Amino acid sequence: MVAEGILLGPFTGGLNLASDPASVQDLDLTICQNMELDLDGALRNRYPFEDLTATMPGTGIMKLLGIYTAPAGANYLLGSNGNNSTYYFTGTGWVQITSSLAAAAMVQYKGKAWLIADPNTSQNGGSWDPVAGFAAVPGIPRGRTIETNKERLWVGPGVGVATNGARMTYSAVGAPTTWPDTPTTPGGGYFNVNDGDGQNIVNIIVYYSDILIFKERSTYRFTFNTDPGQGTLSRLSDTVGSAGQFATISYEGLIYVLFDDKVYSLTNYNFDRVSIKVPLVSSNPSLSLRDPYILSHWNDKLIVQYHSDTFVYSLRTQTWSTWVSSKVGTLGRVISLPASSFEPDRAYLMSNDVANYKLYRVSAEDAIVTETLDCRVRTKHYDYQSPGTFKKLAFWGADVISKVSVTGKVAPVVYAVPVTWGDIQHIHWGDLGTWGRLLDTVIDVTDTASISSTVGERKFIRYIKALRFRQVYFEVQFVTDGSFSQAPVKLFTLTTYVTDKQHVPWKVN
């Protein structure tokens, strides 16, 4: 009997970690590392990170605050660190803004960057612009979240603040230096958000004309016309809050929230979970990080840092993947340049690992920047809709675009069976497998096809290996440096040539 060619893919479902590998949809993947679904249906490598090799001032990981845009259009990346200073980045190095403030958060208003001090310090916040420099504002509240809405600045305290943790404070109209603690307070004030529930205000975000207030385990909506004292506070959710200072973002009219081990979108004041296929887990939750929960956006992607692992959600294709970087280690907050800039596809990030004190940059296209990218995908466990038979694989292949070698792996799925001491009494210790699979042998087959072309033509890679199986999965790996000379690498589909071999012989197989 001639083996039948069966097409697997294109894998438009992306990563699926919520189900057993044998139960996910045929177009889902159980591993999708450093690859993401493109609009043509292929899986494409991610872009490499660039080490900017800029000397980092002071001590401790730089906390990236955001982008300040000057009236002439120049963009300045602002950050603060552990030596009580705040800086801006010139593109090649850091310049000190002030040595009296390690800013906890910033927002741009009236042509200036407004910086607030951390609540656990005695520092004063202030304003900055490249021409006038830094000016301290003693009355501006301390906190970890700041926004501007209806010509006022709004400040929330953040997690871990022992006093007034549920208090929202706002400035006078058009007067960001006038606050309730100053001698004259026309129009400045504050209100408490469900004070006494044991939850601090973590984030505030402007949503149309309203203000969304995210506490640790709940979310509120504040609406007012001209006088905040006459505003209305309503609760949107008593089950969804914010996981941390950088766990909420606003992007193209939608709000995205990282809470617990889930990611939500907020549309028309309703929360929808977008991480149904990918429950967030960490491979190393004890890793020493500055911020274990970070939600960023760049180039139509949500970048979710959950402890030591990076999950990426494509807003164009609504699919998930993971990023792994031996260069950066654990990613920190990603700060994108505004769409109005000359380089809207560029973003900055710091390593989140305290052992890696560097600034990095990522761009959509680059001819020079390189990074060793281990790009790999793994399929579900296929039984070819015939669970009651053993099948024979004649050969299989991958439809790819690649300028580098392509490694293919096929592995029959073998389930562990109980093993007694009598079963292993005549077997040498060195010949045993792991405690979970003492008598199992490795029966997967790995093969690599070398590609010498530098053009990046579309090719079909054939892997020849006869194999008997009941269930099987396939894995394809590219190792590329991400530059124009070795990228892009793309995987379109797999083709397998399979025939039935025999019916299963045992009661339980």
Q: What is the pLDDT along the chain (509 residues), one digit of tens a residue?
A: 456 789 999 999 999 999 999 999 999 999 999 999 999 999 999 999 999 988 888 877 889 999 999 988 899 999 998 778 999 998 889 999 999 999 999 999 999 999 999 999 999 999 999 999 999 998 899 999 999 999 999 999 999 898 899 999 999 999 999 998 654 556 679 999 999 999 999 999 999 999 999 999 999 999 999 999 899 999 999 999 999 999 999 988 899 999 999 999 998 899 999 999 999 988 887 777 888 999 999 989 999 999 999 999 999 999 999 999 999 999 999 999 887 776 778 899 998 887 788 899 998 876 689 999 999 999 999 999 888 888 889 999 999 999 999 999 999 886 545 566 666 666 666 666 565 555 454 566 888 888 877 777 899 999 987 788 889 999 999 999 999 889 999 999 999 999 888 777 766 76
Looking at domain 4-48+375-503, its CATH architecture is: Sandwich (2.60)
Alpha carbons 78 and 335: distance in angstroms, whole number: 10
Report yes or no: 11 and 43 within 8 Å, Cβ to Cβ: yes
Report yes or no: 75 and 56 within 8 Å, Cβ to Cβ: no
Q: How far is CA 376 from CA 276, 317, 320, 351, 491, in A?
A: 22, 19, 14, 23, 10
**148: which 2 tokens?**
């501007």
Q: How far is CA 165 from CA 122, 159, 216, in A?
A: 17, 7, 11
Among residues 287, 271, 274, 283, the alpha carbon closest in space to that of 239 is found at 271
**277: which 2 tokens?**
């296929």
The one-letter amino acid code at 215 reads K
Beta partners for residue 141, in sequence order:
none
Alpha carbons 443 and 413: distance in angstroms, whole number: 9
Report yes or no: 273 and 262 within 8 Å, Cβ to Cβ: yes
Alpha carbons 344 and 205: distance in angstroms, whole number: 22
Alpha carbons 169 and 156: distance in angstroms, whole number: 7
Among residues 262, 261, 260, the alpha carbon closest in space to that of 272 is found at 262
Alpha carbons 86 and 164: distance in angstroms, whole number: 26
DSSP state of 422: H
pTM of the predicted model as reported, rounded to 2 decimal places: 0.91
Contact partners, residue 56, CB within 8 Å, separation at least 6:
62, 81, 94, 357, 358, 359
**387: which 2 tokens?**
């669970």
Among residues 362, 331, 482, the alpha carbon closest in space to that of 322 is found at 331
Alpha carbons 64 and 77: distance in angstroms, whole number: 8
Q: Where are the domains of the chain?
A: 4-48+375-503, 243-365
Alpha carbons 427 and 177: distance in angstroms, whole number: 79
Question: Alpha-carbon dihedral of residues 241, 246, 248, 254, nearest 10 degrees?
Answer: 180
H/E stretch holding 287 reads: none
In angstroms and rounded to an integer, the radius of gyration of the C-alpha atoms of the chain is 27
Alpha carbons 503 and 470: distance in angstroms, whole number: 10
